[in-house]
Amino acid sequence: MGKRIWVHWVIMALHVVAIVIFTRGFLLTRTELPFYSNCSDVLQSPCSFSVNENQNQNQNDTVDQNQQRCWSKPAIGRLVIIVFDALRFDFVAPSTFFQESKPWMDKLQFVQDLAAKNASSARIFKAIADPPTTSLQRLKGLTTGGLPTFIDVGNSFGAPAIVEDNLIHQLAKNGKRVVMMGDDTWMQLFPNHFEKSFPYPSFNVRDLDTVDNGCIEHLLPFLHQEDWDVLIAHFLGVDHAGHIFGVDSVQMIEKLEQYNSILQKVVEALESQSAPGGLHENTLLLVMGDHGQTINGDHGGGSAEEVETSIFAVSFKNPPSPLPSEFDTSSCGLDLGRRNICFSSIQQLDFAVTVSALLGIPFPFGSIGRVNPQLYALGAGTWHFEDSAGNYQNKSKLEEWMLNYANVLCTNSWQVKRYIDIYSASSVIGFSNEDLLRIASMYAKAEEKWSHATQKLLLHKKESHNELLPALRRQIDLYSEFLASVAELARSKWTEFNLKMMGTGLGIMLISLLIHFLAIKKVKEQYGFSFTSSGDSGISFGLIFSCFMVVIRACSFLSNSFILEEGKVACFLLATTALVKMRYSIMKKKMILEAFVFLLLITICRFTIEVGLSKQAPSSEFMNAYPSWMLRIAAGFPIWNFVAEALPVVALILLAFLLREAITRSSSKGIWKYIIMGTNLSYMLIAVHWASESDRLNLAWVLKGTGRSYIPRLIYAIGFGQLLLLTFNQLFSKRKSSDHSNLLYIKTVAMFSAWSSTIIILLGKQGPWVALAFIIGGYCIMRLDNIELDVKDGGNWNRMLDPVPVTQWSLFAVCLFFCTGHWFVVCFPL
């Protein structure tokens, strides 16, 4: 047997290799670079504003002229961003745009009215988010212009501050006063960037109104104040309503109607101050979602419902300013009132760089988005270039706008190329040489045309008047193609799973399992082990049944609801195995009591898990009823409090007695006796610790101050010492025993004794009950093992392998984990 130990090392090595390869394809990573953009950086680019700077001198008199020498000329003076968390696209677009009308559609009627009446200054965008579609990753992507990866999802429950360059950092750095209200995730991501902030806790998904009411309280008054440049209000009611009640619910419809009313008041406040010289003469309003949601209110993945959200943009410039037709990719249709409404598409990846260009601040260093022409034109302002026949009425104005946009794209492309070059040189996991050469060639082609062709035409503008517009169109196309290629490459590396690596990892894992099965078969043939009671080479029902249970449990991990229901599923599968054993017990008329006790224990575990899950919800009926119920009992029976504190100690005493009896019956001495003695000492210390914390016994004076931590530390030390003794005994003991089953029994009891005290002190007063449940359940599993052998004289237990108890042990451990009050939570508001 010792000569074949290499098989175990081979299997372990294959497991490690499989996991490493699989995670390389699944846990996508992106290196965050500690570099930041500055206004002076643009001097290194081939882009210049010198050609048209004088022509545009008076275009935006309301914008500070000292800021015109940064990356782009400021086009707007103020920006209002209203974020409706989990805003689906069909919440905003007319129901006629979809195959089937739903109850939640057409509730934001004011948005549709503006888009229909003021098509040139109000536009609906379908915004496409990149997965993962959790709020933290979407806010990170919106502000950095990059692609957060799936490995960042774990941070959704404790959002770390963003350290890479981002839109909020650039705003604060360049003197923009930013005010934030609503979801407190913004404060976690940007802790020191806001001039004023009014954060509200977002973690309680059952609270639909606290965050929204806080936003409403501060939003409207701030629209009449001058001490801000960018205002951010993040509402959470729709997201929370979706999680708790679903999209098709009364609560969701009520929230959407509330938002419709809020938007109407916001727009009225902005319009009333948008006259020439008014506070919002040059203000842009953006109403947007960070991601969508499924019908059940879930999000995080990459389905169409989750990635499709919306941006509604309103410019208060006068007169309104449409986009040249060659850059307008909008789709139009009729709403229920037979009015024509158009919407455009935008990638959320483009949001940060577009807003930066409109505000005239440097683009975030790691942004790989493109300045969106529709949103940029709506904010920056264009002119009525065409008449009803499609003929250009003012070519000089069209050339001026296209030149300005081409210059912005030039800066945009230079910034993206700079980031890709530095990232590839700095990151261990960069892009391939082939990909880098391809995008470098595309950028060189666009830069060469800009430097040698387009600028020459600009210098001789009068002589080449007819050639300038086609040249500018071609220049814009080259920059757009380069930026699109970079975005596609980045998505393939950072947001799309590498299916080949994942498949390779799974294949290697299957190979390791095959080797494992072959090794079992070899041992079975050499040593005569069998899966059947008759000792033949057949496959027993127990083996098939166990494999079926394992497959069912593995498949359940593919279900979204399994995250919250794992404890229930494990209990159900464990009860199924217990019923099979009960059937054997009844057929053999043996160990019926053990089978019944095991089923009863599973039922208690199932009830305990249900109680634990109900405690998750602060507004649940259990949480509302439980305190008053306890108070009534305590008031009616004063002795109840004493009994509640005494029962855990009684359970400890019973536990110590059972462990002592288990070792005594094995007639074993030596190291095993000292293990039990250490456990009994730990149990006594636990009882003293609980007594010192009791309000009824008033023994707090016994362990004052830091003395209260001495007992737990001593218990941990005793447990560690017990584990060391067991380790040394396993490694250096040369004592041989012919009774392998008895030796296994003793080691099991000793191991339980060693770690039980540490687990109990960590679990609190429920710890002894969990330990008792473990002992009772374990005893029943061992007793019910191989029932058919127990009734046969001369049955060789040592040569019989029954996989059902192994499956039961695994499921029982999962059940006990959830019985202790643990649960898995999927919380998406962050």
User: pTM of the predicted model, to two decimals?
Assistant: 0.69
Angle at CA 227, nearest 5°, toward 321 and 63?
40
| Four-residue CA torsion sign, 46, 358, 56, 462 | positive
Higher-scoring residue by pLDDT: 285, 825: 285
User: Can you tell me the distance from the alpha carbon of 677 to that of 656, in angstroms, rounded to the nearest whole number?
Assistant: 10
Q: Enumerate residues 6+ apart whose C-beta is below 8 A from 65.
A: none
DSSP code of 44? G
DSSP conformation letters of 190-235? STT--SEEEEE----TT-SSHHHHHHHHHHHHHTT-SS-SEEEEEE
Higher-scoring residue by pLDDT: 700, 713: 713
Amino acid at 232: I
Q: How many CA atoms lie within 13 A of 509 on its CB side?
A: 13
Backbone angles phi, psi at 207, to 5 degrees: -95, 105
Cα–Cα distances (Å) from 74 to 61, 66, 223, 369, in that order, read 10, 10, 21, 19
Best CA proximity match to 73, nearest among 317, 358, 479 = 358
Higher-scoring residue by pLDDT: 743, 416: 416
User: Can you tell me the distance from the alpha carbon of 808 to that of 799, in angstroms, rounded to the nearest whole number?
Assistant: 20
Cα–Cα distances (Å) from 574 to 600, 602, 771, 787, in that order, read 12, 8, 18, 18
Q: Enumerate residues 6+ apart whose C-beta is below 8 A from 485.
A: 438, 439, 442
32-67 pLDDT per residue, tens: 888 999 999 988 888 865 444 444 444 444 444 434
Tell me if residue 348 falls in helix, strand or coil. Answer: helix
Predicted local distance difference test score (pLDDT) of residue 561: 61
User: Can you tell me the distance from the alpha carbon of 396 to that of 311, in angstroms, rounded to the nearest whole number?
Assistant: 31
User: Can you tell me the distance from the alpha carbon of 429 to that of 29, in angstroms, rounded to the nearest whole number?
Assistant: 8
User: Can you tell me the distance from the alpha carbon of 49 to that of 68, in angstroms, rounded to the nearest whole number?
Assistant: 10
Task: Confirm if 251 and 212 have CB atoms less than 8 A apart.
Answer: no
Amino acid at 613: L
Predicted local distance difference test score (pLDDT) of residue 189: 92
Tell me if residue 124 falls in helix, strand or coil. Answer: strand
Predicted local distance difference test score (pLDDT) of residue 214: 95
- Where are the alpha helices (H) located in 83-203, listed in sequence order? 89-92, 109-117, 135-144, 167-173, 185-189
Radius of gyration of the chain measured on its C-alpha atoms? 35
User: Can you tell me the distance from the alpha carbon of 789 to that of 794, in angstroms, rounded to the nearest whole number?
Assistant: 8
Backbone angles phi, psi at 184, to 5 degrees: -75, 0
253-312 pLDDT per residue, tens: 999 999 999 999 999 999 999 988 899 999 999 999 999 999 988 888 788 999 999 999
Confidence band (pLDDT; 50, 70, 90) for 120? Answer: confident
Predicted local distance difference test score (pLDDT) of residue 158: 47
